[in-house]
Structure 1
Amino acid sequence: MAQRDADCLFCKIVAGEIPADIVTKDDEIVAFRDINPQAPTHVLVIPREHFPTAAAAGSADRGLMDAIARVAGEVARIDGVADDGYRLVFNTGPAAGQEVFHVHGHVLGGRSLTWPPG
């Protein structure tokens, strides 16, 4: 049985207690559209099991970060941004802007994401 945090917003989405616009899912991962998109494609890719940060998920040595990257590629193909390019971003910790402490990768695409902008 996967670990779950009863107070975690993303755990509630995984459990079906809170609705989300699901893009794809499998036995390990759920991918859903961000409610405040920062690009035409902005999908959150999360493991079903609760880990508060990317570092915690990576330390678990279960291949979860690999699974997130695999599903992020699938999301990019589904949304038609794989060929032009997309960004996969993990905000880890409050100083990096992490707001929900359940590891999640942001798949961003559909517009230029070069840095610096312009």
Structure 2
Amino acid sequence: MAAGEPDTECLFCKIVAGDVPATVVRETKDVIAFADINPQAPVHILVIPRAHYANAGELGAVAPELAGTLLAEAAAVAAEQDLDGGYRLVFNTGAGAGQTVFHVHAHLLGGRGLTWPPG
């Protein structure tokens, strides 16, 4: 499978295709944002490209313009969620970093104080 092509086994590709339900909060032709099913903060939204890229490194290397679009859309979601006091974007890359779905996604976290380091 080439980068950017749908993966029929990928949970997030199934969400993009409409085969798996999600609570969508924003969508464009390139990006979809939906509520995390296991929220770690009062606001916990996943922001993903519609195209399949395994992780943030692959997205940045193969489609840097889309990476920029993903960040801009995450900021738009944060504004829509009234996260004026701040928010965190997290990209887990690789199993050792906690990535469990291998379709690049940004965790948008906010709505409470976020300590550093996160863990």
TM-score computed with the length of structure 2 as normaliser = 0.92
Cα offsets for 1:34-81 (capped at 9, x unmatched): 000000110000000000010000011341211111111111111111
Count of matched residue positions in the alignment of Structure 1 and Structure 2 = 115
Q: 1:54 aligns with which of 46, 56, 64?
A: 56
* 2:44 equivalent in structure 1: 42
Post-superposition shift, 1:114?
A: 2.3
TM-score computed with the length of structure 1 as normaliser = 0.93
Q: Percent identity?
A: 55
In 2, distance between residues paired with 1:115 and 1:104?
A: 21
SS, match of residue 63 in structure 1: helix
What amino acid sits opposite 1:35 in the alignment?
I
5+ long unaligned stretches in structure 2? none
Tell me, yes or no, if structure 1 residue 98 matches structure 2 residue 99: yes
* 2:114 equivalent in structure 1: 113
What amino acid sits opposite 1:101 in the alignment?
F
SS, match of residue 36 in structure 1: coil
* 1:85 equivalent in structure 2: 86
In 1, distance between residues paired with 2:32 and 2:15?
A: 9
What amino acid sits opposite 1:16 in the alignment?
G
5+ long unaligned stretches in structure 1? none
In 2, distance between residues paired with 1:116 and 1:93?
A: 19
